Structure 1
Amino acid sequence: MKIFIPLFLGIFLIWYSLKSSTPQEREQLWQSILDANKFWILVSFLLGTISHFSRAYRWKYMLEPMGYKSSQANRFMAVMAAYLANFGIPRSGEVLRAVTLSTYEDVPFEKGFGTIISERVADLLILMLIIGVALVFQTNELLAYLQDQNINPLNTFFIFLGLVGIIILGLNIVRRSTWLPFQKLKNLAKGLLEGMKSILKMKQKWAFIFHTVFIWTLYLLMFFVIQLSIPETANTPVGIIMAAFVVGSFAVSATNGGIGVYPLAVGGVLMFFGIQEHAAEAFGWISWATQTAVVLLFGGLSFIFLPLLNNRK
């Protein structure tokens, strides 16, 4: 259900969006996509590729404190294969990354997975910072959009706190139990914790922070340059594009790879702020397609070359 329901939801949203529009609106959307400036789309593609390369490079800063050396090529291919796996099974990519490094670089799975969790925490902090900046730029408009969509940010915050509380309670139960399966879980948790603590033991903390900021700067830039590819969005204020980026960041996890949801969510934000429908939807589709193309190309190549380049293992 977790695999197929999000996928079918995304396909349904695409079908519904096309069916509910008139032939003229569909023609305008398609023409806007075709007329988009290919140069800026290529720039966005390159920025996305560099961001993934930087993510793979940043990973070594968390592995080295535990005494593990790994090649940049294997880390990059593990990252890209993981992104591609998320298109099939959401959230499976993080597990695949750890498995890949365990297979080809002899990094224990639980320790590798722990570093990935720490990495996600660092990314979440940057995303929250971006959300804060978006609120400063576009407070009234963003809150108005959330209200229009019946989204209450406080509810999300309280749900997050509830989940944290449940996790803490569960960990305490496991820690105190003598039941054998829980003992195995405890050993796994110790490995995860060691991997997560690696972020505190790094000798090159500033390099890690630089790459974290660099990655998200590229994410923003690859999104922002898409507006230059469409004449109707070229002069859109920064605050509006920032609001669309924030909504898209959450929408991408709703379905497999954000299919169906991401372009409609981003387009919906731009339309809410007065951008013409065909241009707003074209922006969403081009942005999603560019990010997806990076993952499909390098993720597919990674699945092929990982075993070939590591055939001695």
Structure 2
Amino acid sequence: MKKQIGKWLAIFIPLLIGIGIIYYQYTTLKPHEIDNIKQSLQKADYSYILLSLAIACVGYWSRAYRWKFALNHMGYQTHFHNNFFTVSVSYLVNLTVPRSGEISRAALLKKYEDVPFDKAFGTIVAERMVDLAIFFLFVCLGFISQFDKIYQFLLSRNVSLQVMIYYGVAAVILGLIFLLIWIYAEWPVLVKLKKKLSGLTEGMATIFRMKNKWKYLFHSFFIWMSYLSMFYVAVFALPETATISFDIVIMGFIFGSLAVGFSNGGLGAYPFSIALIFSLYGISNDVGTAFGWLVWTSQTILTIVLGLISYVLLPVFNSKK
């Protein structure tokens, strides 16, 4: 019973957050701003959106191709189409419960390629760690280049730099303490947990020992460049955003990526965050909102279509096994 309640809460809490953000944004928009958003969506050049989606598909391909290096290192020769289909399905599942797609991805690979779930999941966790590190580089570059603008914004929201430093230092200290306990503590509960996670640990460690780690890292950076490129291409869809500088694009990309984790696939949170960050650079709220919804909707449609097609094709491509 508790598991069922937890499962439904994991679905509905992010969904309610997204709906709440949409309601808040809608109620704070003036009637003429809503009309401007509708007009912006109508006059958008959707050829750039289609190009953005094509770049996104290349990112899907690269993520599926990168996965084979970690799997091959552990001795599993998987079919590329299964890698691609399971990646596509995982993105679709993430629209329901954030981060649950990783579990479905490992489970599907176990079903169709007989790769142990814990090892497959370990390689996925390793991917996320690498992705997080690369995204952190984007954040550092963006915040360093736009420090003055961000600092003034935080001050306007009564958030001082000193408070942020305190929280940052506290987080680092707690992280180090946890890491030291995990490595050196011999508590029975911890030893038992390490044993259960041995397959997961092996999967995570593959990146450091694999023969093709440089190809793996190349695709890791390529994936994130494809994410950035598909966001950058989309700005040309609206006349009001077509002339914005690349530093604004970087900041929009960063905050948009962060917003995805707040609700189901960034529902509500993504357009809101884009409008908020664009407003710091003098772009009107209605234009930022229109652009955010344009990008989010197109990417979500692609995720749903590719995910459903992949889910259908998985048993078809593996029917002869």
TM-score by length of 1: 0.92
Q: Secondary structure at the match of 1:90?
A: coil
Structure 2 partner of 1:114? 122
Residue 21 of structure 1 deviates from its aligned partner by 1.8
Q: How many angstroms does 1:217 deviate by?
A: 0.6
SS of structure 2 residue aligned to 1:231: coil
Shift in alpha-carbon separation, 1:297–1:149, aligned structure 2, 3 A = farther
Classify 1:146/1:308 alpha carbon distance in 2 versus 1 (closer, same or farther; 3 Å). Answer: farther
2:232 aligned with 1:220, yes or no?
Answer: no
1:63 offset after TM fit, Å? 0.6
User: What is the CA-CA distance between 1:105 and the residue it aligns to?
Assistant: 0.6
Q: For the structure 1 residues 64 and 153, does the alpha-carbon distance in structure 2 shift closer, same or farther, using more than 3 Å as the test?
A: farther
Distance 1:147 1:294 in 2: 38
Corresponding residue of 2:27: 19
- Look up the match of 1:165: 177
Residue in structure 1 matched with residue 274 of structure 2 by the alignment: 266
Aligned pairs for 1:44-193 (under 5 A) are 44-149=52-157, 153-154=164-165, 155=167, 158-159=170-171, 161-163=173-175, 165-166=177-178, 169=181, 176-177=187-188, 183=192, 185-193=193-201
Per-residue deviation, residues 104-161 of structure 1 (Å, max 9, x unmatched): 1111111111111111111111111111221232221133334445666542563365
CA–CA separation in structure 1 for the residues paired with 2:154 and 2:183: 34
Query: How many Å separate the matches in 2 of 1:164 and 1:146?
Result: 28
C-alpha distance in 1, partners of 2:155/2:14? 24
Distance 1:304 1:157 in 2: 48
Cα distance in 2 for partners of 1:260, 1:161 equals 34
How far has the Cα of 1:23 moved from its partner? 2.2
Deviation at 1:164, TM superposition (A): 5.8
Paired amino acid for 1:158: A
Q: Which residue of 1 aligns with 2:3?
A: none
Instruction: Determine the C-alpha separation between the residues in 2 that align with 1:256 and 1:167.
Output: 30
| Cα gap change, 1:150 to 1:88, in 2 (>3 Å) | farther
**Cα RMSD (Å):** 2.1
Residue 37 of structure 1 corresponds to 45
1:198-209 to structure 2, matched below 5 A, reads 198-209=206-217
Alpha-carbon distance, 1:5 to partner: 1.2
* DSSP-derived class of the 1:232 partner: coil
Q: Which residue of 2 aligns with 1:197?
A: 205
How far apart in 2 are the matches of 1:128 and 1:105? 33
Residues in 2 aligned to 1:157 and 1:128: alpha-carbon distance in whole angstroms: 16
Q: Secondary structure at the match of 1:2?
A: helix
**What is the CA distance between 1:81 and its match in structure 2?**
0.7
Indicate the percent of aligned positions where both proteins have the same amino acid.
Answer: 37
Residue ranges of structure 1 left out of the alignment (5+ in a row) = none
> Does the 8 A contact of 1:267 with 1:277 survive in 2?
yes
1:195/1:221 Cα in 2 relative to 1: closer, same or farther (>3 Å)? Answer: same
Distance 2:120 2:307 in 1: 19
Quote the residue 2:4 is aligned against. none
User: Which one of 280, 283, 286 corresponds to residue 278 of structure 1?
Assistant: 286
Q: Secondary structure at the match of 2:27?
A: helix
In the alignment, is the contact (CA less than 8 A) between 2:86 and 2:105 conserved in 1?
A: yes
Q: For the structure 1 residues 156 and 78, does the alpha-carbon distance in structure 2 shift closer, same or farther, using more than 3 Å as the test?
A: farther
Displacement of 1:312 in angstroms is 4.4
CA distance in 2, matches of 1:160, 1:293: 38
Q: Provide the residue aligned with 1:293 in structure 2.
A: 301
Give the Å deviation of 1:163: 4.9
| Structure 2 residue 288 is the aligned partner of structure 1 residue 252 | no
Please tell me whether the aligned partners of residues 271 and 288 of structure 2 are also in contact (alpha carbons under 8 angstroms).
Answer: no
Equivalent position amino acid for 1:200 in 2: F
Please say if residues 145 and 269 of structure 1, whose CA atoms lie closer than 8 Å, have aligned partners that are also in contact. Answer: no
Equivalent pair of 1:110/1:188 in contact (CA under 8 Å): no
- 1:241 to partner: Cα distance: 1.5
Structure 2: 5+ residue stretches without partners: 1-8
Q: Is residue 248–residue 278 contact of structure 2 (8 Å, CA) maintained in 1?
A: yes
Q: Distance in 1 between matches of 2:214 and 2:124?
A: 18
| Alpha-carbon distance in structure 1 between the residues aligned to 2:24 and 2:109 | 41
